Amino acid sequence: MGLAIQGAPLPERIVELLPFGSGPLGTAIAALVGAAIVGTLMMTMTAVAGPWAKRKVTAAFTDRYAVNRLGPFGLFIIVADAVRLLSKELIVPDGVDRPAWDLAPVVLAASALLGFAVIPMGSGIHLADPEVGLVYVFAIASIASVGLVMAGYASNNKFSLLGGLRAVAQNLAYEIPLVLIAVSVVLFTGSLQMSEIVAAQAEPLVTLGAVSIPAWYAFVNPFAFVLFLIANLMEVGRNPFDIPEAPTEIVAGYQTEYSSVYFVLIYLGEFLHIFLGGAVIATLFLGGPAGPGPESIGLVWFLVKIWAVYLFTQWARSALPRLRIDQLIEVGWKGMLVLALANLVLTAVIVGVIA
Amino acid sequence: MSLEEPDPRSRDVGETPEGTVDYDALEALLGETALDREEHVNATAFVVRPDEVQEALNALRDEAGFDYLSNVTAQEYADRYESIYHLKKYDDPTQEVGVVVPTVTDAPVSQTAEPVYRTADWHEREAYDLVGIEYDGHPDMRRILLPETWQGHPLGSDYNPEKPQVVPFREHANPLQPDSRGEGAESDTMFLNIGPHHPATHGVLHVKTVLDGEQIADVEPDIGYLHRCEEQMCQQSTYRHQIMPYPDRWDYVSAGILNEWAYARAAEDLADIDVPEYAQVIRTMSAELCRICSHMLALGTFALDVFGDFTAVFQYAFRDREVVQNILEELTGQRLMFNYLRLGGVAWDIPEPREDFFEMVRDFLDGLPEKTTEYHNLITSNEIFQVRCVDTGELPPETAKQYGATGPVARGSGVDIDLRRDDPYGYYEELDWDVVTEDGCDNYSRVLVRMREVEESAKIIEQCVDLLAEWPEDEREIQSNVPRTLKPDADAEVYRGVEAAKGELGIYMRSDGTDTPARFKIRSPCFCNLHTLREMTEGEYVPDLIASLGSLDIVLGEVDR
């Protein structure tokens, strides 16, 4: 019974708490409240990650201190940065393609935020659990590419245009391997439903005395895990794959012309995408919210896992050179795709033999 | 480790068995082209008619082996204009010869040297821009440093510096063509202004780029945004004291003492000043410290160009450079604009207590191998870095010579030239070190050359420190006796180069008997090295253009002067 409540999507439980009944109106309000909770949680994490954690982590890698003047560990820089960024002038360059240029940052941020709807975060925080949850995440996350092209094309700037085109090329190169690797996980679970995928990883893989290693797919199929990590780096556009932005080459790529609030939205979208990538990795390969201790602290474990993925992206960013766009396409189509297919066939054979 | 033919080549015309130049043989080679001979302090020069420049230069290049056009100086006399081509040999830069081309004051026109030496392209454009000599047959006779709309030639005698010249934005915008399709609406190429404000141009450089997709169809560096009239300022300053602070401001990224040495060497040759041996050792040590600083910065910014945002390598390079800067601050009292050399020596001795200073230097040297290993682990052995840098930005040795490339750029193309060894000055001859060359001719080789040169510099510094520590106390002479007002003989001319961090930094000076030079010309290594950019990047991708630009390690302060 406990598990059932734990697994129940968040809005259904909110319905019980709110005085609006379980009619259409009550369900809608509950869904909004649930979305607000998840959204706020993710935005807060982004606020910590963007102005503060990113600086601190990069500084640690590069032998510096970074922000340390405002508040404990410089944490209040988050407030200062928010005020600074939001109070800047929103410069609209001549000749931008207005609706598209304005919409692009919103599309970027929204596509990442929407993805969290189906992620089971533990402690009962799970907005929706459709049967096609995994497909939904990939589909929604890919909409970001549309946003990138809109931003690049509508900016009336050649550096933006190059960045937008690079973003599309990169997207095509990683998206297919990314999905194929995810499919290999689906072969194990036999379900696209996120809660099922998490539940399938709860079984112990091997038990060595008191220590029991769970059947997380990172342990079951480490090869797929590593491939997915790399493909995910491509998706979030961090070194060695930060090609669409490539500050030293094309200034800032698609985001060159954005300032103030739009700039914040674009950055928000980027960080949300990193966290969404972390959430998908945690769900598919790291047992979702699973971890030692009672199930009620599942959220803590889940956050630990996605922050670990975040740290990994920052590490790569500090230490690795950037590939060239043609080299990235080669890596994507000639390397990742082949390996992803091999992984898929191998998994299919193993699953077929066992089952 | 050189790409050049190792076989003992037959001696060039005009080369003696001892490896010096037989000017009589050269005069015979030039025959009637040579109208006259002039004796400059550094070499003999032949006077050539303005319409026979190419004939003379061709003979000197093909028959006499002068394959290196080091510098072109233009100047105006009361009765004539003069272009001087300073020729050297890559195999032996001590073999020099000048070609003096006088032209009339009324509409001076001289034949271009560009077909013989590609590097003359930019040199002659500069001569046209600043002095006003036109070069007949030049492929691109435009101003190079000043805006297209500038009136007059600032180093000419009839130039009025009092006349205000405002270049309005629409004139400045002129070179910044609209980012549009190249060559009309039907074209598939795209014109893109990279710079003057761009994260990777290492200063204010404007690269006019024509792109075919992401590939470079054509690039043209547009320079002059940082032109500060350095030559003119030196011409208005006295030899003895006032010029020395300026060289620090040419290549301002911590290569100061190397630059100062260029002026010191030229001026000391011009006025025949001796430098005490002890001062030479200090000069050698401090110059090599500067070289390490400069190469660290080059490494860090190159990593920035290839890696992306502010990365570990960049910060590590700056962290280690900081140690050297502290040493230099101890020695000179300054961190950037050292003003430490004096004609005939250095400003002051090693700071007391000397042991502490030597320990500081030795601590740095002891830690260096570990850091070098770290850099190699992080950078050169990284596979992605290799994929990015090997075989990109290729500069074949012959092309490098044609463009007058020197320094790590030339040595990364296998051209074995280093003035510290080939044209010795200071204390280098007495010390044990090697010239580094790499055969790759690509961005990777240039990075490797710089990293290995840091190790060689460390070797030199170590030996200098040992020498200085054991130098007898009563023989520590830091300056020779130099007259307070220095007036070299009238009409003495000298062209002298030293191996600065980026290559051959040369100074041409002509004295008119007063205490300020009548003409002061700077041969900037970055200026010549930057000229190779088009050769390196055509057909490559935008990221390779950025990497190649980074591997050239230009400092715009020195390019534009």
Residue B554 distance to chain A (closest CA, Å):
16
Q: How confident is the model at residue B185 (pLDDT cuts 50, 70, 90)?
A: low
Q: How confident is the model at residue A161 (pLDDT cuts 50, 70, 90)?
A: confident
Given this model, what pLDDT does residue B507 score?
A: 92
C-alpha to C-alpha distance for A124 and A134, rounded to whole angstroms:
19
Distance of CA B13 to the CA centre of its chain: 28
Given this model, what pLDDT does residue B522 score?
A: 92
Q: Does A94 touch chain B (CB under 8 A)?
A: no
Write down the H helix ranges in A49-132: 54-61, 77-86, 98-115
The pTM for the full model equals: 0.84
Kindly state the percentage of chain B with pLDDT values over 70.
95
Tokens of B177: 């063509």
Q: A105: number of CA atoms within 13 Å, CB side?
A: 18
Residues whose CB is less than 8 angstroms from the CB of residue A42 and which lie 6 or more positions away in sequence, other chains included: A113, A116, A272, A275
Distance of CA B306 to the CA centre of its chain: 24
Given this model, what pLDDT does residue B286 score?
A: 92
Q: Does A89 touch chain B (CB under 8 A)?
A: no
Residue reference for tokens 């674009």: A266
| Residue B37 bridge partners (DSSP) | B46
Where do the domains of chain B lie?
1-144+146-175, 238-560
Residue A303: domain span: 2-8+93-354
Residue reference for tokens 């700039």: A263
Cβ atoms within 10 Å of B463's Cβ, excluding its own:
19
Asked if B388's CB is within 8 angstroms of A324's CB, the reply is yes
Asked if B378's CB is within 8 angstroms of A62's CB, the reply is no
Domain B238-560 listed as CATH 1.10.645.10: yes
Residue A60 DSSP one-character state = H
Report yes or no on A298 lying in a domain: yes
A63-75 per-position pLDDT tens digit: 888 888 888 888 8
Phi-psi domain of A35 (left: phi exceeds 0; alpha: psi -120 through 50; beta: other): alpha
Given this model, what pLDDT does residue B313 score?
A: 83
Residue of A238 and A81 predicted with greater confidence: A81
Average pLDDT (A158-184) is 87
Residue B353 distance to chain A (closest CA, Å):
31
Is A188 a residue whose pLDDT tops 70? yes
Given this model, what pLDDT does residue B263 score?
A: 92
Domain B1-144+146-175 listed as CATH 3.90.550.10: no
- Residue B550 dihedral angles phi and psi, to the nearest 5°: -65, -35
Average pLDDT (B493-498) is 90
Average pLDDT (B459-475) is 89
A312-344 per-position pLDDT tens digit: 888 888 888 888 888 888 888 888 899 999 999
DSSP H or E stretch at residue B456: helix B443-469
DSSP H or E stretch at residue B503: strand B503-511
* B308: nearest CB among A158, A159, A239: A239
Given this model, what pLDDT does residue A1 score?
A: 31
* A248: nearest CB among B308, B316, B378: B308
Q: How many domains is chain A partitioned into structurally? A: 1
Which residues in chain B have their CB less than 8 angstroms from residue A324's CB?
A: 387-388, 541, 543-544
Q: Does A334 touch chain B (CB under 8 A)?
A: no
C-alpha to C-alpha distance for A318 and A240, rounded to whole angstroms:
10
- Cα distances from A192 to residues A129, A183, A289, A353, in angstroms, run 10, 9, 17, 21
With b for 16 or more beta-carbon neighbours within 10 A and e for fewer, the B404-414 pattern comes to bbbbbbbbbbb
Contact B291, B255 (CB under 8 A): yes
Asked if A248's CB is within 8 angstroms of B200's CB, the reply is yes
Residue A75 distance to chain B (closest CA, Å):
21
Tokens of B405: 């490339």
Is B323 a residue whose pLDDT tops 70? yes
Given this model, what pLDDT does residue A50 score?
A: 78
Helix (H, G, I), strand (E, B) or coil at B75: strand
Asked if A158's CB is within 8 angstroms of B542's CB, the reply is no
DSSP H or E stretch at residue B409: helix B407-411
Given this model, what pLDDT does residue B179 score?
A: 52
For B380, which residue in chain A has the nearest alpha carbon? A321
* B305: nearest CB among A242, A248, A323: A248
The complex scores an ipTM of 0.78
C-alpha to C-alpha distance for B257 and B472, rounded to whole angstroms:
25
Report chain A's terminal Cα–Cα distance, integer Å: 29
Phi-psi domain of B407 (left: phi exceeds 0; alpha: psi -120 through 50; beta: other): left
Cβ atoms within 10 Å of B261's Cβ, excluding its own:
25
Which residues in chain B have their CB less than 8 angstroms from residue A64's CB?
A: 315
Asked if A251's CB is within 8 angstroms of B316's CB, the reply is no
Q: How confident is the model at residue B461 (pLDDT cuts 50, 70, 90)?
A: very high
Report yes or no on A275 lying in a domain: yes
Question: Which of B197, B309, B444 to substitute to test the interface with A, most A CBs within 10 Å?
Answer: B309
Q: Does A58 touch chain B (CB under 8 A)?
A: yes
Which residues in chain B have their CB less than 8 angstroms from residue A247's CB?
A: 199, 308-309
Average pLDDT (B347-360) is 88
Asked if B378's CB is within 8 angstroms of A326's CB, the reply is no
Angle formed by the axes of helices A337-354 and A158-189, nearest 10°: 10
Contact B523, B561 (CB under 8 A): no
Q: What is the DSSP string of B338-393?
A: ---EETTEESS-PPSSHHHHHHHHHHHHHHHHHHHHHHIIIIIT-HHHHHHHTTSS
Given this model, what pLDDT does residue B181 score?
A: 55
C-alpha to C-alpha distance for B532 and B528, rounded to whole angstroms:
7
Average pLDDT (B505-527) is 90
Is A4 a residue whose pLDDT tops 60? no
Which residues in chain B have their CB less than 8 angstroms from residue A63's CB?
A: 312, 315-316, 319
C-alpha to C-alpha distance for A10 and A44, rounded to whole angstroms:
19
Q: How confident is the model at residue B457 (pLDDT cuts 50, 70, 90)?
A: very high
Helix (H, G, I), strand (E, B) or coil at B42: coil
B129-147 per-position pLDDT tens digit: 888 888 888 888 888 888 8
Given this model, what pLDDT does residue A8 score?
A: 62
C-alpha to C-alpha distance for A124 and B77, rounded to whole angstroms:
90
- Residue B495 dihedral angles phi and psi, to the nearest 5°: -130, 120
The residue type at B448:
L
- Give all strands (DSSP E) within chain A, no chain letters: 204-208, 211-214
B245-303 per-position pLDDT tens digit: 899 888 888 778 999 999 999 999 888 888 998 999 999 999 999 999 999 988 888 88
Mean pLDDT of chain B: 85
- Cα distances from B521 to residues B180, B230, B496, B506, B518, in angstroms, run 39, 9, 11, 8, 10
Question: Which of A153, A160, A245, A249 to substitute to test the interface with B, most B CBs within 10 Å?
Answer: A249
Q: Does A240 touch chain B (CB under 8 A)?
A: yes
Given this model, what pLDDT does residue A2 score?
A: 36
Query: Of the given ranges (A63-72, A205-214, A227-236, B342-351), which has the lowest mean pLDDT?
Result: A205-214
- Residue B195 dihedral angles phi and psi, to the nearest 5°: 90, 180
Is A3 a residue whose pLDDT tops 50? no
Report yes or no on A39 lying in a domain: no
Given this model, what pLDDT does residue B264 score?
A: 92
Q: How confident is the model at residue A44 (pLDDT cuts 50, 70, 90)?
A: confident
Q: B271: number of CA atoms within 13 Å, CB side?
A: 29
Given this model, what pLDDT does residue B174 score?
A: 46
Which residues in chain B have their CB less than 8 angstroms from residue A318's CB?
A: 311-312
Contact A216, A204 (CB under 8 A): no
